Structure 1
Amino acid sequence: MAISPVARTRASIVASIIFTWWVASLLPHFKTATTSSVAPRFPSIKARWGHDTRYNASKLAIIVDPEPNPLLVPLILHMMAVVPPDWRFLFVGSRESVFSVGRGFGIQVQRSLGRIHLKVLPKPWSFEDDQHRSALWTDLRFYHDVMPKVEWMLKFDRDSILCSNSETSLNDWLDWSWVGAARYGAFRTLFGAPVATSLTRKGNRSDDGFSAHGGLSLRRVSVVKRVLEFQKWYNDSAPEDDWFAKRLQPLPGVKVLSGFHKAFAVENKVVDRPMGYYAPDRGRRLDSEVWSVPETRRKIFEYCPELRYVMDMKLERERCPEDDKRGKAKA
């Protein structure tokens, strides 16, 4: 009796299904055997997810600024180029300044790489005035909440700059507990030439030899926490950097930079080839007795041309004919 084409088709389908099930039942055993024989030939690999793995969690460069200033993006990108590549960056600001900085293309690239994080300043802290900013840096909660794993903190602001021509690295200063800008002195040299420096003390800032100015400073966070665990800053007291200076120096085991060591940063005490400069209020609050000397300015700007980023400057052709290049009229 002949088998119809329809019956043959149905039989083929049934046979195919049975064969498929049989092959499928063998696959788990085959996969296990194959994996067992091949796995020893490959090295052990551990995946490390996230971009932050290339950076050192204990090193943080931080800038706090509430104003959406166009200078901030180029300043931060320059600092990223000068600071060693294992350092992370944190920008803390208002909603407006965080939005403004975050729009910069270079900042967006660095954020995608995990090197910089932008953060709106959380409550209860405020930027309202110098008193509130000092309260921020002297609040133990700020260090616990915002930078819990940080041991070294580079604090900078829009009035400070690190020089690309510096022969020292930021990592060369990690043995110190606190290094900042030296403020005043009687006589120093600049690139081998004698330079008179200021004897004035603007703003009642003390000159005890401690290079403590906080506008551009490297701080060991564990030491800062030691101070804050038994000392409390009160409103209308000294600025936070002066306040810390008085408490750090007598602390046992603390290594602080004085004006007689190598220079980390310069404000009004002029020294050879510092790591950077601090020019408060875009240079308007620098001591004219130091910075009005044309030869001094020329040598400083040749060594650290980036200082022009943070100083209020004008073109030479804008100078008045009567200007003696020291900020005064010719006699």
Structure 2
Amino acid sequence: MPSFIKSKLRRDSLQAPLIAIVALLFAWFIALVVLPQCKPAIASARQNLPSIAIDWSPNNDPRKNYNASKVALIIEHEPLPLLVPLILHMIGVVPPDWRFIFIGSQKSVWTVGRAFGIQVQQGLGKIELMQLPQPWKIRSKEDRNRLLTDTRFYDEFLPGVEWLLKFSRDSILCANSELSLNDWLDYTWAGATDNRQNKALAVYGDLSLRRISVIKQILSFQSRYNDSEADDSWFGSRLEVLPDAKLAMTSDQPFAVQNNITSRPMGYNLQARGNLVD
């Protein structure tokens, strides 16, 4: 190998360690000499900076933006794909001062909660997803009947609520309705007619507006027998005898329809996924 190449290689091999040593010495010089001299100037400059306070409101509950006495409730055990679009539709149709509560199983709560639209509404405090603790059950229709006829359910999970819009996977409010849900607030109970009940009342079905104070009044002196009639029929027969109770009638503009389809109702409740429509 020529001598000039050997000398160049030796110079290159020495150059990198020299650069590292010089950089290390420069860093020590900055840390031990320059920085201590600059600390008073840095501290003085910090004192002259304007103070900024950021209030993140960690205790601010977004649910306070809504009327605590108005809640729309849906209870569903099965993780159905239609739940998310149904709930988002109802949020868009129901007046904006109402809050929503979804009660479901672990799977159905996860199915609803993973949707981005639902997550946005959760952040706004519009909807709350809830899985009831033991011994509460919602798997069967009878489980839900027992739930809705137990005053402890309203005391524990719906405190302060007066108006309850109950809907299900088989019910929906019409976006083109001439009436708003708030137009029915002076009613004690409003729902759909049921031809099989053979009555003039329109208080039946899974789509109904209920006064919780009246529910508690009935449950204070009567209890439903297990495996008996459904909660709407059970309450309906007792609402008739309550003094000063304003109930929706078949002669009124329909709040909801289920067995027989009439013109321009505010909502539809298709029992058994529409298999019972006349």
Q: Indicate the RMSD between aligned Cα atoms, in angstroms.
A: 2.0
Aligned residue number for residue 128 of structure 1: 139
Aligned pairs, number: 226
Aligned counterparts of 2:144 and 2:118: Cα–Cα separation in 1? 25
Aligned-pair CA distance for 1:131 = 1.6
Aligned counterparts of 1:247 and 1:122: Cα–Cα separation in 2? 30
Aligned counterparts of 1:150 and 1:210: Cα–Cα separation in 2? 24
Aligned residue number for residue 174 of structure 1: 185
Aligned residue number for residue 276 of structure 2: 285
Task: Give the greater-gyration-radius structure (CA).
Answer: 2
CA shift digits 1:270-327 (9 cap, x unpaired)? 332111000012212222xxxxxxxxxxxxxxxxxxxxxxxxxxxxxxxxxxxxxxxx
Aligned residue number for residue 275 of structure 1: 266
Aligned residue number for residue 53 of structure 1: 64
Give the one of 99, 102, 109 matched to 1:91: 102
Aligned counterparts of 1:224 and 1:91: Cα–Cα separation in 2? 20
Aligned-pair CA distance for 1:173 = 0.2
Q: Give every structure 1 segment of 4 or more consecutive aligned residues whose post-TM-superposition deviation is greater than 4 Å.
A: none
The question of whether the paired residues in 2 share the 8 Å contact of 1:65 and 1:157 is answered with yes
Give the one of 244, 254, 259 matched to 1:253: 244
Aligned residue number for residue 221 of structure 1: 212
The question of whether the paired residues in 2 share the 8 Å contact of 1:160 and 1:279 is answered with yes
Aligned residue number for residue 78 of structure 1: 89
Query: TM-score, structure 2 length as denominator?
Result: 0.77
Counterpart amino acid of residue 51 in structure 1: P
Partner SS state of residue 219, structure 1: strand
Give the one of 222, 232, 242 matched to 1:241: 232
Aligned counterparts of 2:248 and 2:172: Cα–Cα separation in 1? 19
Partner SS state of residue 182, structure 2: helix
CA shift digits 1:137-183 (9 cap, x unpaired)? 00000000000110000000000000001010000000000000112
Q: Which stretch of the first structure deviates more once superposed, 206-215 or 221-230?
A: 206-215
The percentage of counterpart residues that share the same residue type is: 53
Aligned counterparts of 1:93 and 1:50: Cα–Cα separation in 2? 23
- In the alignment, is residue 263 of structure 1 matched against residue 254 of structure 2? yes
Give the one of 139, 148, 154 matched to 2:165: 154
Query: TM-score, structure 1 length as denominator?
Result: 0.65
The question of whether the paired residues in 1 share the 8 Å contact of 2:259 and 2:271 is answered with no
Aligned counterparts of 1:128 and 1:152: Cα–Cα separation in 2? 25
After TM superposition, the structure 1 = structure 2 runs for residues 18-57 of structure 1, keeping only pairs within 5 Å, are 49-57=60-68
The question of whether the paired residues in 1 share the 8 Å contact of 2:205 and 2:258 is answered with no
